[in-house]
Chain A
Amino acid sequence: MLKTLIFGFLLGLVGTVAAAYYAPVVDQYRESSVIAVAPNGGNTESFRINIPTDRIMIGAPGQAEPLPPGLQWPTDEKFDGVRVELFKLRNSRDTVIGVASRMVADSDQIEDSVEWVLHIPARGTFYAAMPAQSADGVSRIGKLRAGTQEFRPMQGEISERWVPKADDADPDAPDGHIELVTSFVGTFSDSVTESALTEGAL
């Protein structure tokens, strides 16, 4: 009887420790990436934001109908030149895969700019800044400034353009969508990761 109790105790102890070590506590849901290889190297990926359905927040002064309802934007005059928007982010298959923010600063002190941060939980986050003026009257093009996780070794460009809805007859269709297209290429590194060594990459 005592031996059974001790066996059970050890089983419970070891089992719990093993579960805590091996069982994933967090398992982020993943959608397959929709990436195309660019002709000049690297890869391109298209993201979209349906307007108005994917818009979570518009942070700007003096809104008659704030989004979300009840939003209290700071009343201090110094924030008058800052506009912040928060969106759900979709891949080119129109599936929500992340969240994104767009920040526009209109200031006498610093150059006007449009900035994006795209946060895709299972893949990472990246930050891009682009000039306030569009290059061709249609789209803005900016540079990738920083990335995390799978975007960390990347460099490249991102473009932003507004695409109005194609079918005016469909009353349920969104007004249009913001299209973001990335063109990233990985940078080479001399360092070899531990996981690459254990997987026999060399």
Chain B
Amino acid sequence: MIKYAAGLLLGIVLGVVAAAALLYFNPLAAKNPLSPLSVTNNNIISLGYSGVPTDSIVFTNNGESRVQPHPEKVRELWEAPIRLTEVLVTVLADSRNNPTGIGIKYSSDSEDTRLINGEALVNSAWHIHLVERGSLFVEQTENYWNFLRKIVLPAYWSSSNHWKGVWNGNMTVGPGALGTAAVTGGTGEFAGLESEAVEAVHASAYSVTQGPVAMERRLTIDVTGNVELTASDVADR
């Protein structure tokens, strides 16, 4: 009897491991497709920022994540309705790396997350002000599945608890049909703008204890028809 119970238990463990391997290597899971804005002839503006929380003005979360809030004494989002939310306030730079605005990014884990589909989704929204130009609101759904597979899990598996390499990926998968974010202009030259955007990540180091160590992020916004491009915007094209 014990022999059969042990066999059943071993079988279940093997089945769980096989299923986990299937999920991890799922060939049907989301790929990292080319952004439609990377091949567009439309006018775009490109805003870069560091993905390392300690480079930001403010980064806060529930305080229990491996990525610690910054500065140290910032209020944490510990209340139940906001426990799965992060807020980042950062300086946004143009393609020549000149500070050009301030961005606030809200990110909350999405209830639409389905690991079996290769989806680790985050609903995020940007509140952006570009100095002397105006304001924008960007709504997007981001998929962190490939980021988890290619960077976070290898960091955990590494004996040094660290990942180093080069990884480029588009995080935006919606709500636009082509996997783009929705942009709404607010004030200044962006007033009335209805457009699309894509956010991309360039990661080169990740630590299990600190989170991102070397990571740049870039938000590319289509501003065709609304906005007079600056010299650095033209350089982006």
Contacts and interface: CB of A to CB of B under 8 A. Distances in A.
Interface of A: 1-2, 4-17, 20-21, 24-31, 56-57, 59, 68-74, 76, 78-79, 81-82, 84, 86, 88, 95-99, 101, 103, 105, 107-111, 113, 115, 117, 119-122, 125, 127, 129, 145-146, 148-149
A16 to B, nearest CB: 3
Contacts of A2: 7
B129 A8 contact: no
Contacts of B15: 8-16
A173 B131 CA distance: 37
A10 B18 CA distance: 10
B96 interface: no
Contact of B135 (A56, A88, A129): A129
Interface stretch (B42-50, B72-80, B228-236): B72-80
Given A68-B75, A86-B104, A125-B106, A21 B99 contact: no
Contacts, number: 236
B184 A98 contact: no
Given A5-B8, A15-B16, A25-B115, 5 more contacts: A8-B13, A79-B102, A84-B129, A113-B135, A146-B184
Contacts of A73: 57
Contact of B111 (A7, A27, A81): A27
Main SS at interface, chain B:
mixed
B19 A26 contact: no
A16 B91 CA distance: 43
Nearest to A74: B91
A57 B87 CA distance: 11
A125 B184 CA distance: 13
B127 A101 contact: yes
Nearest to A116: B127
B14 interface: yes
A127 B8 CA distance: 55
A26 to B, nearest CB: 4
A62 B186 CA distance: 27
B188 interface: yes
Given A117-B104, A129-B186, A8 B10 contact: yes
Contacts of B114: 20-21, 25
Contact of A103 (B20, B91, B135): B135
B186 A148 contact: no
B11 A7 contact: yes
Contacts of A71: 57-58, 71, 74
B168 to A, nearest CB: 26
Given A1-B3, A25-B114, A27-B111, A101 B104 contact: yes
